[in-house]
Structure formats: C-alpha cells, structure tokens
Amino acid sequence: MCCLCQPELLPDEERKFRADPRLNEAVTEQHISPEVKGAAIKLKGAHGSCHFLKDKRCQIYADRPHFCRAFPVNIFVGWRIQLYANLSCRGIGLSGENLEQVGKGLLEEYGEERLSVELKTASKVFSDFVKNCRDAWVAQSFSSLREAGSSIGEELADNIGLSRLLTYAENGRTGQNTPARDVVKQIRRTEPEADIDERAFIDGMELFDLPDLSLLPIYIDENLTWRIFKLSGKEIVGSILSEDGGIREFSRTDPSEVELLPMDEGARAATKEYLELINRRDCFLGHAAYLCESENYDYSLAQVYIGALANNAIDLWWRASFLAHLKEKDTLGRAEVREGIVFFDMDLLDLPTIGAFI
C-alpha cells in the first residue's frame, strides 16, 4: 500500500537525493495531491507505484524516505499527540518490527522541541474550535462524545440502528453540553426514518465515481494485488493495477445488485471493535470538528459526531458487502469485515480534519 503513496522528501532527504544521480532521477515537484508542495518521488505512469519499486520490492530500501519508513504508523497532533496504525497495511500482524516501538522512535526523531511547536499550533486550532462551538451554543465535551459513541455499538452494526442514528444526526435537537447518557436516550427515542440501503448505494456510487485513477480507493487483496474500482456508465469496473500504472479489467458489477449483506455474530463484533477504535482516534474527532465548522455550526457537535460515526459504519458495511459480492458470498463474517477494513482505513485516515498529521 505505501508504495502507491507518493512520499514527500524532507529537506535533508531532498539534498541527499539531489546529490546522488541514481536517486535524483526520481525526484519531482509534481505530486498526485495538488495541494502538497515540495519535492517528492515520482510514480510510474503518473498513478502507478513508486519509481523505485520493482517486482513489489523496494530498490532503495536502506535509503527510503522518512514517510516510507514510518508507514503504517501515523502521528496526529491535535490537543495532544496520538499514534495510529493504518489498518489498510497487509503487513500488520506479521513478524517484524513492533509498531509501538516504531512510533516511539519516530517521536524521538522529531524531538521534543519540534513536537512542542506542532502541539502548540494544533492545540490553538482545537481551542478556537471549542470557543466557536460555545459561541454558537452547539458545544459538547470530547469525553462525552466518546462516551456516547461507545454506548451505541449495537446501533452501529444494525440497519435500523443506523437509520435511527442518521435521523437523529439530521433532525435532533441536542442542547449544548448535553450529558452522554441523554444524547443516547435521544438517539434511542428517534424514529428510524433514514433509508440505509439507499444511502449505502449512493455513497458507494460516489466512492467510485472519480475522474482520475490516482484518486480511486485501492484494495489490496490477500495476494498483495492492487485492485481499483471505477464507475463506468451503469457498471462498476474492477481493474488490477500494475507497477507501471497500467490497468487490466477483471470484473464488471451492476451496483444495483450489491446489497448490504447480513452480518453474523463475528462480523457484528468486528464491526463494533473497529468503530470503537475510530471513536478513540483524535483525527476522527477532528474530522467531526471540520464538518461542524464547514456546516457553519448549524448542528450540535454531538449530532455531527454521531452522524459521521454512522456514515463510516455504512461505508465499511458497503465495502465489505461489495467485496463479498465479488466472491459470490451472501453473508458477512469476521473475515469479510476485516477485508472491508483493509479497503477502508486508508481513506478514513485521509479525511479532512482539524489538527495535523506530521
């Protein structure tokens, strides 16, 4: 996965790469993300793999940039510093380095002085957001948001429960600083009016309806094959992506045939475990803050947060169902949900948020 993520070069790395003819040939100022500035490593064929990848092996492993060495560890700076593991990485769980130790090593590389500067800047952004929420009378403590999120695990893995959550998010009347238990009571008193199957279908179409291959979500299967899916007319076309950026079609799917498949107990448990992990990520709370701000503080932060959590649950359920549909399965188990997580987590960590990844 990381070899499809064009790495930026830190200043010291850029100088090192520029000074070495073999490394310099891969340096570019053009990035797949237009908003990113500075030097980076070229991708093959604009949207293929890293210039230095050959037969799924890195040719400069000892000299690979910081962001390659860090993957799948992410460092997020908000009102505090938090480490994540990107669960789209197939290497997690295999023998090798301990990710916690890798994360601690990355923090040591940054050093206390730089981390303090980053933390001061990000903390002010969160403080300003909280003040804006209070001024708009939509504030909710972060701890109460998480307490409410932890209390709705059953709803997040159930069609009617998700309908109730989204209906509450769109039509609730939650006052400022409402206790978590009262937020949950309001949710459970809400009539489930949202059509979850329709929402999943629309979101699924938007997921694959993107103009550029480099923007499409990537699914890495059990054999480490890169698979991408694009909406073409009335079909979802599945293609295998090669290192040079070429694509080879392997499937065509009528999206109207993809349904949210029933989950067995293992699938429900895996779904709730993953969504509880999301609930603990500061970047997700930052994403809810971003949504609240972009909606001009018209909704309670509690409603925005619960709505975002529910939408992520629907996205995960649809992706897991889509992959299972390709394998002609009619039920989701723990393994199928796990594949959905592999397909989803990279995109989730890439959502806009206040605070910053460093």
Domain-by-domain residue ranges, the chain? 1-68, 123-192+260-357, 199-257
CA distance 186 to 174: 8
Q: Is 168 helix (H, G, I), strand (E, B) or coil?
A: helix
CA distance 340 to 321: 8
- Both tokens of 62, joined, read 């000892």
Half-sphere exposure of 199 (CA within 13 A, CB side): 20
DSSP string, 291-354: HHHHTTT-S-HHHHHHHHHHHHHHHHHHHHHHHHHHTT--SB-HHHHHHHHHHHHHHHHTS--S
Q: Is residue 43 exposed (0-12), middle (13-18) or buried (19+ Cβ within 10 Å)?
A: buried
Percent share of the chain, pLDDT over 90: 90
Q: How many residues does the structure list for the chain?
A: 358
The pLDDT value recorded for residue 236 is 96
Whether pLDDT at 133 is above 90:
yes
| Cβ-based neighbours of 159, under 8 Å, separated by 6 or more | 196, 197, 260
CA distance 343 to 341: 5
The pLDDT value recorded for residue 76 is 97
Among 9-23, 27-41, 213-227, 272-286, whose mean pLDDT is lowest?
27-41
The pLDDT value recorded for residue 5 is 87
CA distance 184 to 254: 38
Residue with tokens 């939408």: 311
Percent share of the chain, pLDDT over 70: 100
In sequence order, the β-bridge partners of residue 259 are none
pLDDT bucket at 110, cuts 50 / 70 / 90: very high
Residue 185 has phi, psi (to 5 degrees) of -60, -45
Interior angle at CA 350, CA 349 and CA 356, nearest 5: 85
The pLDDT value recorded for residue 215 is 84
* DSSP letter assigned to residue 265: H
Q: Are 1 and 89 in contact (CB under 8 A)?
A: yes
Instruction: Tell me the average pLDDT across 335-358.
Output: 96
pLDDT digits (tens, 9 = 90+) for 225-272: 999 999 999 999 999 999 999 999 999 999 999 999 999 999 999 999
**Residue 126 CA from chain centroid, whole number:** 20
pLDDT bucket at 7, cuts 50 / 70 / 90: confident
Q: What letters, b where the CB count within 10 A reaches 16 and e where it falls short, cover 270-287?
A: bbbebbeebbebbbbbbb
pLDDT digits (tens, 9 = 90+) for 271-294: 999 999 999 999 999 999 999 999
The pLDDT value recorded for residue 31 is 79
The pLDDT value recorded for residue 213 is 83
pLDDT digits (tens, 9 = 90+) for 163-186: 999 999 999 999 999 999 999 999
Phi-psi region at 55: left, alpha or beta (left = phi > 0; alpha = psi -120 to 50): left
Residue with tokens 């939509």: 138
Q: Provide the mean pLDDT of the chain.
A: 95
Residue with tokens 């059509």: 195
The pLDDT value recorded for residue 343 is 97
Instruction: Tell me the average pLDDT across 139-159.
Output: 97
- Both tokens of 269, joined, read 């448990």
Among 28-37, 76-85, 242-251, 263-272, whose mean pLDDT is lowest?
28-37
